[in-house]
Structure 1
Amino acid sequence: MIFIRYENWKDYLKYFPLTSILLIANVVMFIVLTFNGGSTNNMVLLKFGALTNYELFAQDWWRYVTSMFLHAGFGHLLFNSFALIVFAPPMERLLGSLRYGVLYLGGGVVGNILAVAWYNSIDKITISVGASGAIYAVYGAFLYVALFQRNIMDETSRKTMYTLLLFGIIFSFAVSNINWMAHLGGLLGGFFIYGLIIRLWKPRIFRK
């Protein structure tokens, strides 16, 4: 079962360096927000890089990346940190840290782009933060593995993946103030980015 973590903290840092850096970055930025007016204050979030389609900030392309490292409230940070700690490491080991970073950031950006496009289409202002779009990109990559590379994922892990996605989709639509399009966009982005990576930029494990 690839989603059970057995490592101590030293081994975790050694084997999953980029996941560890992402976690630390999220925590550090949460502390920064907390000491600069609060992580649930929209003005503070905008100041530090939240994504929005509000006209004044709509051209700030860098927000598509920086918003992934901001979280609105401790519960938001805790939920995404748990998902990152538990579910992301096997993908870092499978792809290697560099490719995994491209998947994580690329999928997160795709999710954010689609989210902004959606809110623009319904003429609604949004302020969006969180790593969940990038985390769903990792889920999307695992979905690709579960469907097309069944030999590298055991049956228990595959069932866990399907269950996780089912509950994730339900949660995304059932809970208010959830940017469901960022989740769906991240999932789709991760699925296709992973497929491109293993074809155009093959990790050593896939080379013949």
Structure 2
Amino acid sequence: MFVRDESFQTFIRRYPIITFLIAAHIIVFLLINFTPFSTSVYYFMVGSNYYISQGEYWRLFTPIITHEAAGHLIFNSFSLLLFGPALEQILGKVRFLIGYVGSGLIANIATLLMLPLSYAHIGASGAIFGLFGIYVYMVYNKKHYIDKANTQILLVVLAISLVSTFMSERINVLGHLFGLIGGAALAPIILATLKRRGKRN
């Protein structure tokens, strides 16, 4: 479930949303770091609580695909590569995108409401924790979607990720936690529509 053995072309064909998101990560990273207008791109994409409060609501979404440091980009993109495909396959493209972006949005709204106006953030971590939230809901409520071995892998990785969340002052702790909560909250809605669709088919 979490092991990738496809060729590059097969992966792109099977998981177009994951492919698009990772490509967006890379493109934005390159624009921020290796172009003459890097400062302008970063300014436009960053999730600034102050500017969001002034009506620039796109900043609730743009941080989800924005990374400035190579390590941040690699870690989040690899996490998406590892844990995203199974959910895209189970949920379908539209439901997966709703769960992923919706979790990131919930994380960023929580950041806006609970942290100072001077706070600014970037990164896909809130959305990725949302995937964990969806998986956790499956583990306890839809066990037929995930077997015992993969459940153990998932819970160990989640535990490590949660511990790591509190180990750096630069990490948006609220973003991680509310991404996880957001994914778990969206999961029953997304899976209910999947079930109804299955019945119609």
Give the structure-1-normalised TM-score: 0.89
Q: Counterparts of 1:104 and 1:138 in 2: how far apart (Å)?
A: 6
In structure 2, the residue corresponding to 1:6 is in which secondary structure? coil
Distance 1:206 1:75, change over 3 A: same
The change in CA–CA distance for 1:26 and 1:92 in structure 2 (over 3 A counts) is: same
Q: Distance in 1 between matches of 2:53 and 2:34?
A: 23
Cα distance, 1:55–1:104 mapped onto 2, change above 3 Å = closer
1:8-57 Cα shifts (integer Å, max 9, x gaps):
11110011010000000110011111124697x7x752x23110112586
What is the RMSD of the two structures over their aligned residues, measured on CA atoms? 2.1
Residue-pair matches, total: 200
C-alpha spacing 1:204/1:23, structure 2 compared with 1 (3 Å): farther
The yes-or-no answer on 1:111 pairing with 2:124 is: no
**Stretch moving more, 82-91 or 124-133:** 124-133
- Residue 32 of structure 1 is matched in structure 2 by 31
- What SS class does the counterpart of residue 62 from structure 1 fall into? helix
- Residue matched to 1:65: 61
Q: Secondary structure at the match of 2:102?
A: helix
- Is residue 2:74 matched to residue 1:78? yes
* Contact 1:94 1:205 (8 Å CA) reproduced: no
The reply on whether 1:136 has 2:129 as its aligned counterpart is yes
* Structure 1, unpaired ranges of 5+: none
Change (3 A) 1:144 1:6: same
Q: Which amino acid aligns with 2:18?
A: T
The question of whether the paired residues in 1 share the 8 Å contact of 2:33 and 2:68 is answered with no
Q: Does 1:145 align with 2:112?
A: no
How much does 1:206 deviate? 4.9
Deviation at 1:204?
A: 7.3
How far apart, in 2, do the equivalents of 1:32 and 1:189 lie? 30
- Normalising by structure 2, what TM-score? 0.92
Q: Considering fraction of residues, name the structure with more helix.
A: 2
Question: Are residues 61 and 159 of structure 1, via their aligned partners in 2, closer, same or farther at CA, if it must alter by over 3 Å?
Answer: same
Partner of 1:170: 163
**Structure 2: runs of 5+ lacking an equivalent:** none
Q: Please say which of residues 54-63 and 16-25 is displaced more in the overlay.
A: 54-63
Identity percentage over the alignment? 28
2:104–2:127 Cα contact (<8 Å) kept: yes
